Structure 1
Amino acid sequence: MPAAIKLHQLRAFVAVARLGSIRAASRAAHLSQPALTKSIQELEDGVGAKLFIRRRQGVVMTNIGESFFKHASLILEELRVAQEDIQQRLGLAGGSVNIGVGGSIARTIMPQVITRFHREYPNVKIRIVEGQLVSMIPALRQGELDFTINTYYQGHLDNELSYEYLMDREYQVVVRRGHPLEHATSITQLLECDWTMPTPNGSYYRLLHDLFADRDMMPKISVTCETFMACTSLVAQSDFVSILSRDVISDPILGNHLVPLAVCEPLPKAGFYLIQRKDTALTPMGASLAQLFRQQCRVPMSF
């Protein structure tokens, strides 16, 4: 009969797996290396399998270790959420909320929401990850993110997640002010330009990629930018062309540098959703932050 797995063994295993070495994990966990090594050995004896391969430069997980890590990290995240849920229901507003946001959300809606939330709950720590949904699915699955506000592509749904519609946003072709083709009226006039856009592997930009392919007018995407800041900075300071959210282009800080083009080809609107795991309820603080995002998404944007 397998030995009972203890919580400190799981924590030791996850720490070593994430940091790649017992030495780094012992420093992060404020434990001695022998104590950490003993916990790992006891865990391996308990599960009846090797979880790590020891090497001179550190450790790497075995195939079994990688599979076990998915379960172990999720257990620890679920336990954290459960403990914080109890504390918050007792009126002790502490703990943490981990969220993901798309680049345009980070620039427009997120600052007002976070400022209001922090004012109401100053003792709650907030962690914000920016990017497309495709980069956040593993963290959502493992419980490392409570939810994300993002777009998604309906052809690539993840059945483990729930999608709550919040709003639509318009997107436009954009160039820098003074660009040689800033008066272009068709995307076909821009096909020889260098374009930069986020990865087409998911969300709204996957929809654009397929749309351009269907119309036989695929732009030459020379640079793939994974962050909003990289994309906007490149467009603002070069002759690259991109497609960005209309409210981002109208931002007063960027407005002096970016010009939306009045092209004749209509672009689809982007639907933004509150996305989370289906089988996990948010803590009271997580639910409060999600509600603030819902309220802010209903506020009309002025252009």
Structure 2
Amino acid sequence: MPSQLKLHQLRAFVEVARQGSIRAASRLSGISQPALTKAIQELEQVLGARLFIRRQQGVVMTDVGDNFFRHASLVLEELRVAQEDIQQRLGLAGGRVNIGVGGSVARTIMPQVITQFHREYPLVQVRIVEGQLVSMIPELRQGELDFTINTYDQSHLDQELSFEQMMQRDYKVVVRKGHPMERARSLAELQQCDWTMPTPKGSYYRLLHDLFAERGMAPKIVVSCETFMACTSLVAQSDFVSILSVDVINDPVLGHQLVALDLDDPLPKATFYLIQRKDTALTPMSAYMAQLFRRYCQ
């Protein structure tokens, strides 16, 4: 009976867990189904616990398996980062950088950063995830994202993430051109409209939620759009009201159908941060990517 955990067992377990079946994991990884099955069985013997429940349509993790998956996937990501760190310090500029960005950053600063980075390091693979911070927490925790440039509102995340202030941006209430409330001058006039905004959890939109509450407003946010593309498309083609960055509103492609309302009560500025796990150092390539964001955010 195997006495200690081995790396190939971890990789087999994580791949099967992510794919939901041994067959799919085998097809994606190029490892035979019998080899994956054997590795997982050996791992279960080492741990003394079942990690999967086998079903006709695939596998489902047990509670023990689900908890172990978080540790195993983080270990594999840390090993990948450590290996890439050594290669990059030796001048072998390969590897991968994984970043997250908020919607307005994706439309403005991010293209400039990525263009310069790719020009200097064409062999480095770059993965970009767009969205609110709350949607990126699992990948930040697992080491699958190196960092994100996003808005943030104080929460329990202070204990596990670090926050470096990068820039501030103006946000405004927006409607489509020709909207019945196009000439509104206050939030109170818009209270009965249908609103669409991202989730308020842990982001700039939490500040807006608190602002509405302070003024005794409860706008009907009946549709939540987690990407700015979905939000701008909905507002541009309907009577929904939203709040977007002036960078998006002024965009020549996206903004030509939108009108920023000139309200008597301006909205608070949004503060963007570079956010990463406290206990993880960036690889040289990730650190350089972060430095480029600092430069372009100024």
Provide the residue aligned with 2:176 in structure 1.
176
- Whether 1:195 and 2:195 are equivalent positions in the alignment is yes
Residue 154 of structure 2 aligns to a residue whose secondary structure is coil
Shift of 1:255: 3.1
- Whether 1:211 and 2:226 are equivalent positions in the alignment is no
Provide the residue aligned with 1:150 in structure 2.
150
2: CA distance, partners of 1:72 / 1:251: 43
Provide the residue aligned with 1:101 in structure 2.
101
Paired amino acid for 2:106 = A
2: CA distance, partners of 1:188 / 1:49: 58
Residue 276 of structure 2 aligns to a residue whose secondary structure is strand
Asked if the contact 1:3/1:47 (under 8 Å) is kept, the reply is: no
Paired amino acid for 1:240 = F
Provide the residue aligned with 1:34 in structure 2.
34
1: CA distance, partners of 2:214 / 2:154: 17
Count of paired positions: 298
Asked if the contact 2:2/2:42 (under 8 Å) is kept, the reply is: no
For 1:216-227, what aligned pairs fall within 5 Å after superposition? 216-227=216-227
TM-score by length of 2: 0.98
Q: Once the two structures are superposed, what CA deviation does each residue of 1:144-176 show, in whole Å capped at 9, x if it has no partner? A: 100000001124534111001101111100111
1: CA distance, partners of 2:26 / 2:46: 21
1: CA distance, partners of 2:221 / 2:255: 24
Residue 54 of structure 1 aligns to a residue whose secondary structure is strand
Provide the residue aligned with 1:286 in structure 2.
286
Asked if the contact 2:155/2:202 (under 8 Å) is kept, the reply is: no
Q: Once the two structures are superposed, what CA deviation does each residue of 1:28-48 show, in whole Å capped at 9, x if it has no partner? A: 110110000000000000111
Residue 256 of structure 1 aligns to a residue whose secondary structure is helix
Shift of 1:201: 2.0
- The range that moved more, 150-159 or 179-188, is 150-159
Provide the residue aligned with 2:71 in structure 1.
71
Residue 157 of structure 1 aligns to a residue whose secondary structure is helix
Paired amino acid for 2:181 = L
Q: Once the two structures are superposed, what CA deviation does each residue of 1:43-98 show, in whole Å capped at 9, x if it has no partner? A: 00011111111111111111111111011000000000000000000001000000
Paired amino acid for 1:280 = T
Asked if the contact 2:179/2:239 (under 8 Å) is kept, the reply is: yes
Residue 85 of structure 2 aligns to a residue whose secondary structure is helix
1:2–1:163 distance in 2 versus 1, CA, 3 Å? farther
Report % sequence identity.
77
Provide the residue aligned with 1:24 in structure 2.
24
Gap runs ≥5 in structure 2: none
Provide the residue aligned with 2:265 in structure 1.
265
Gap runs ≥5 in structure 1: 299-303
Provide the residue aligned with 2:140 in structure 1.
140
- The range that moved more, 2-11 or 232-241, is 2-11
Paired amino acid for 2:190 = L
Q: Once the two structures are superposed, what CA deviation does each residue of 1:260-299 show, in whole Å capped at 9, x if it has no partner? A: 101112211111000001111000000010000000000x
Provide the residue aligned with 1:244 in structure 2.
244
2: CA distance, partners of 1:156 / 1:63: 24
RMSD between superposed Cα atoms in Å: 1.2
Paired amino acid for 1:6 = K
1: CA distance, partners of 2:59 / 2:5: 21
Provide the residue aligned with 1:301 in structure 2.
none
Paired amino acid for 2:205 = Y
Q: Once the two structures are superposed, what CA deviation does each residue of 1:193-249 show, in whole Å capped at 9, x if it has no partner? A: 111111122201111112211211121112111111100000111111100011111
- Whether 1:167 and 2:176 are equivalent positions in the alignment is no
Residue 273 of structure 2 aligns to a residue whose secondary structure is strand
Provide the residue aligned with 2:57 in structure 1.
57
